[in-house]
Structure 1
Amino acid sequence: MNLKFFIPFMLFFICSESMSENKINEKVIEDYILNNPEIIIKSLRAYEEMTEKKNQEELKLIIKQNIKKLIKTNAYAYTGKADSELIVVEFLDYNCGYCKKAHNELLKLLKEDSEIKIVYRNLPILSQNSMQIAKISTSIGLLNNRDFNKFHDFLLSSRKLPDDKKIRGFIEEIGLSFNEILKSSNSEEVQEIINRDIEMANLLNIKGTPAFLIGNELVTGYVSKNILKSLVYDQQ
């Protein structure tokens, strides 16, 4: 036989056989999956677990690399012992209902252990009003810790966010000038502080409030006092 025609013929035959085998193998695999659909579910779960583990490892590395910046207070925006090493960082929005609920748990935690320090970071994501309140709170926080905590408690102890009239009345009631606070709240310094808080939240991929950073653990959503307490003492 002329090799000129034989070689192409053999190549075609081999490829055809290979394609035929592939089709058979594909059919076997397809039938197996159809008869055992749990294989797909197990595979997806394994992939999700692997991805979650990788994400957690990356997050812990980010926290470790930025921990000093993350736990540093914005002026006087904290509650508890100023020089404590037992630190909870909370990202919050004053319009957030779960932040109000979590606030009660934080107060219970501090009542049980006054050595703990809560550092507050603004994440005003729910409305434009959230940003304005965050600015006012930050502005008061630049003055002193006592008045910051009074205003902070006032906002989070109310079922609904107080209106402008009540906010103005409370600020003047604690001996501060509302006009001066309002002027300060629109300063570049205040905006830069809030921008840094938002940048830190983005760094940790925080999408909602409240969120708590305790040691190298990030917990999102409402958590009880007991869970917070357990995480705090795990730092030691």
Structure 2
Amino acid sequence: MNYKNTIRGIFKDRPNRFIAHVQIGDQLETVHVKNTGRCRELLVPEAEVILEKNDNPARKTKYDLISVNKEGRWINMDSQAPNKAAEEWVAAGNLFPEKVTVRREKTYGNSRFDLYVESGKRKAFIEVKGVTLEENNIVRFPDAPTERGIKHLCELMHAAADGYEAYLLLVIQMKGVKYFEPNRETHPEFGETLKAAADAGVHILAYDCAVTEDSMKICDPIPVRL
């Protein structure tokens, strides 16, 4: 998954969920933040960030904030990136050995899953979650309570019971982490539901990513501790 027209800047502040002020050279720009999550541990004053310049003249902001440097490690925080990277990764044959067809936004029950994968051998639903919360090289999800995340896990359990393959793919938007665990301190119910989903046959997978100034690519599996 690639970006075009990227540039570095220095984060200053974030007036609300949607915009930030970033210093680019001698110019202070108002930029769009491509993640409405809290991200307080990432967007700290004077952090180096990567922006993508948008060529749409109708937009109020001409830059999107996509990545941040945290203690020497680039972390992609674009909330749209995990789905795009996952679609490319699955379509390229990294999850299933046979040739598959990948469709986005497939409805099942009361949910719309990120990916639906089909071949002569399988029918699988995949829900993708991007993970940016890191502490001491341990990554966690969610960074805020997510009833929507619990709903998706319950629907994945129903899909597994109906004979589909069901996957939760945790896309760790950085490299160099030890393992993933649910953020029980922030949302205990999500951790409990994640364990129940695994027990019900939902595959819980976590993969890290190589993040560069203009790309993010899913790379290697990391351990999941439930």
| TM-score interval for Structure 1 and Structure 2 normalised by the shorter chain | under 0.3
Which of structures 1 and 2 has the larger relative contact order (alpha carbons within 8 angstroms, sep 6+)?
1
Higher strand residue share: 2
Q: What TM-score does the superposition give when structure 2 sets the normalisation length?
A: 0.26
Larger-Rg structure = 1
